[in-house]
Amino acid sequence: MTPGDAPTLSDRLTAAAAWPVRVLFQILDKPFRLIQRIGGIKTMPYIFLLPNLAFFGLFVVIPLFINFAFSLTGGTNLYLTDRVYTGTEQYAFLFDCGNYADPTSCREDRFWRGIYNTATFIFFQVTFLVLFSLITALILNRKIRARGFFRAVFFFPVLLSPVVVALIWKWILLRDGILNAALVSMGFDKILFFVSPEWSMFWAIFVSIWANMGFYTLILLAGLQAIPPDLYEAAEMDGTSTERVFRRITLPLLWPNMLVVIVLALIKGVQIFDEVYVLTGGGPGTATQFIVQYIYNTGFTNQVQNFGLASAASVVLGVVLFVLTMMQLAATRRRDNG
Amino acid sequence: MTNRLTKILGSSAMALSLMAGTALAETELRMTWYNDGNEGEVMRGILDRFEEANPDITVTLDVVPYKAILESLPVQLAAGDGPDIARVTDLGGLSEYYMDLTPHVGDPEYWRANFGPFLKWLDPDGDAISGFMTQLTVTGPYVNKTLFEQAGVEMPGEGATWDDWAAASKAVADALDIPIPMAWDRSGHRVSGPAISMGAQMFDAEGNPALVDDGLKMMATKLYDWHQDGTMAKELWGSVSGSTYLGANEDFANAQVVMYMSGSWQIPQFAETIGDAFDWWAVPAPCGPAACTGMPGGAALVAMKDTDHPEEVGQLMDFLAQEENLAEFYGETLFIPGHLGLAESGVEFATDDPRAAHALQTFASAVPGISPVAFDLQGYPSNRVMFNALISRLGEAIVGELTLDEAFDRMSQDVEQQLAEQSR
């Protein structure tokens, strides 16, 4: 807008929206100047971070400590002060095993089955998730027809709630679901997917990949687009084969993104609960009962709500997640350092 | 302009303060409720009458899934954040959160005379008046009589055993290509009646819980075998984990099940969803060597001690418990009355469906034959610990994760461990 022009509606709205911000800045100006005068310029970043740190502390750090404190107690009281101190008894109970490779030899067999099921799940889920995400990203990075449409199609499931995703697939896979109807129409017998441990695990992995692949594809696509095109042009001029271009250019330059994807997928895989809980209920038996569902069942669904044991299992899970997060941080740093 | 703005602001503030004043004079009571059939609607109608008679009290009916009553409500109550009133089925297990209504009801003697035996279920260690039964229930089977007729298989008669019914249901299913010959709710409560019929005692001589004995093993083994030979479909018991409840009511209503072990609370739902599509028939509890019993049970409306409005809660509970209101409630919902006066005088059930009338008659007449062991188990406050151990471990055996013997050992260990945790 040049001087003399009449303000448009947009200008008026912008000015109106800026007004509260201006007032806020005017209010905060003096106290912030005072803080800077007292604490020096180096204090200011911490002051700006304070609201976020307070929020993080209140909703993450303090509950973490409360959870740890719960894991050292027993009984059914909800209030920490009313609970009985048991020391490391809950941990000893969880780790009391004749043979760690055989859950039936453990006192808390369901905890170990949860661990093994989670390990199986993340091994297959992460492997195929990364593989399919990479393939999809490579295809979507090419100049194909309706590329924008396909990018949206692959990303769409990410926008759905995990519960909605699980319910959709449950309706497809039930005895009288769409898939069985299709099998019958082709002359096959119905398959009771949720009665078979193998099929249940397969669908838990498949649905999880279907729901989350778009997100990881997007990360890899961004990585692919950041690779300088002149490298590919040079390779083309040299007559390098497609396979060699992928191995020598694409994969090494995409590796930092791949690492982030792998670690993020691992963390999400360990935390898996809602999709599978709705899809299979953890069954058949405990075939798809993962560690988070074990914690939920122990803490909430039994008549005797064993918060101490559930908290101890949460701490174990927290340690695993901490290790994975450190791996992700290391991978990110390596990428940032080139 | 400024003057006009001041006037608008002033009048708005006055209106808001008046509204706030009205709001302050009003007491809102929250009632957590779940539905099996139409009982929520019937209760709402009665509550509307209460609100008309007591304009300073409003009652909000929070309808939640049954799962929330089992899993979320106990946590809310433990956190002191529960409703004023709730409809519960874990009658004794939540008793520590109930309020004693004795000082708040008009005539405690009326309550003791009409709800006496059930008050003990709500307060096993005392004699408090905590609420009343919205329904008495008895577990027992339903059969699809039409399928029996179509298959030309005779329905087993009085005194038939579980084996007789299992064989007959299988014969019908095989003849008509019905996918599920027999289905049981995935619930420890449902298994307990038949287990007691087989001789399960549930408690030792000192009255301590003793879940696994020969009677329970006999029933559990039958259930296991029926899952292996196809009499029962693994979809129900084998498709989820832990103590998750699953019912086969929808499969039965869709004529996918020949015989369905559930209970009297299904009557209103079947009357509505099945109607006269086929003859759904309640049959007496099949027999074992020790008895022919189902499990008693029911749901109760209870007042919670953390309420901020004990007087108003007492007033409401007293209103709801009056004979004329309960007669309407039981009559409209087709629930077996939990009010002794009404049980004696009879309730006029709002149905002309002969199947519903027959089912009500079948379940009501089953009450005198219920085993004392079943009553003791229902009155035991930690009975869900036993039910959950039974169902979860048997489920794991059915899908092949445990042998039956391992499952029995684990059941005992689970009960022992959870009761030890509870007693800390």
Q: DSSP assignment, residue A338?
A: -
Q: Which residues of chain A have pLDDT under 50?
A: 1
Q: Are residues A100 and A224 in the same domain?
A: yes
In a domain, A74, yes or no: no
Q: ω before A284 within 30° of 0 (cis)?
A: yes
In a domain, A55, yes or no: no
By C-alpha distance, which of A180, A151, A162, A105 is closest to A276?
Answer: A162
Q: Are residues A118 and A191 in the same domain?
A: yes
**CATH number of the domain within which B118 lies:** 3.40.190.10
By C-alpha distance, which of A289, A170, A285 is closest to B238?
Answer: A285
**What is the residue range of A186's domain?**
85-336
pLDDT at B21 over 80: no
* Min Cα separation B251/chain A (Å): 11
3-state secondary structure of A6: coil
* Ordered DSSP codes for A232-251: HHHHHHHT--HHHHIIIIIH
In a domain, A3, yes or no: no
The confidence score (pLDDT) of residue B15 equals 54
Q: Are residues B217 and B364 in the same domain?
A: yes
By C-alpha distance, which of A322, A333, A331 is closest to A60?
Answer: A322
Q: Are residues A35 and A90 in the same domain?
A: no
Q: DSSP assignment, residue A100?
A: T
- Count chain A–chain B contacts defined by CB atoms under 8 A: 113
In a domain, B350, yes or no: no
Shortest CA distance from A73: residue in chain B: B424
ipTM for the whole complex? 0.78
Establish if A77 touches chain B: CB-CB under 8 angstroms.
yes
Interface test with A, best of B81, B256, B380, B421 (most A CBs within 10 A): B421
Place of tokens 């002149």: A230
Contact indicator for B256, B178 with CB cutoff of 8 Å:
yes
Q: What is the mean pLDDT of chain B?
A: 90
What angle is formed at CA B240 by the lines to CA B238 and CA B244, rounded to 5 degrees? 115
Dihedral-angle region of residue B159 (phi above 0 means left; psi in -120 to 50 means alpha; beta otherwise)? left
The confidence score (pLDDT) of residue A2 equals 53
Q: Are residues B197 and B170 in the same domain?
A: yes
pLDDT tier for residue B2 given thresholds of 50, 70 and 90: very low
**Strand B85-88 vs strand B296-303: parallel, antiparallel, or unpaired?**
antiparallel
Mean pLDDT of B7-24: 52
Distance (Å, whole) CA B241 – CA A99: 23
Task: Say whether A289 and B75 touch across the interface (CB within 8 A).
Answer: no
Q: Are residues B338 and B363 in the same domain?
A: no
Contact indicator for A295, A316 with CB cutoff of 8 Å:
no
Q: Which residues contact B249 (CB under 8 A, 6 or more apart)?
A: B260, B262, B266, B269, B270
Establish if A305 touches chain B: CB-CB under 8 angstroms.
yes
Establish if A177 touches chain B: CB-CB under 8 angstroms.
no
The confidence score (pLDDT) of residue B128 equals 92
Interface test with A, best of B72, B89, B241 (most A CBs within 10 A): B241
Q: What domain count does chain B have?
A: 2
Nearest to B399 among A74, A175, A285 (CB): A285
Q: Are residues A288 and A200 in the same domain?
A: yes
The confidence score (pLDDT) of residue B120 equals 86
Contact indicator for A203, A195 with CB cutoff of 8 Å:
no
* Ordered DSSP codes for A155-203: HHHHHS-HHHHHHHHHHHHSTTSHHHHHHHHTTPPP--GGGSHHHHHHH
Q: Pull the structure tokens for residue B97.
A: 């959160």
Q: Are residues A32 and A110 in the same domain?
A: no
What angle is formed at CA A329 by the lines to CA A323 and CA A335, rounded to 5 degrees? 140
Q: DSSP assignment, residue A14?
A: H
**What is the residue range of B89's domain?**
2-136+297-345
pLDDT at B376 over 80: yes
Contact indicator for B138, B294 with CB cutoff of 8 Å:
yes
Q: Are residues B38 and B75 in the same domain?
A: yes
Q: Are residues B91 and B207 in the same domain?
A: no
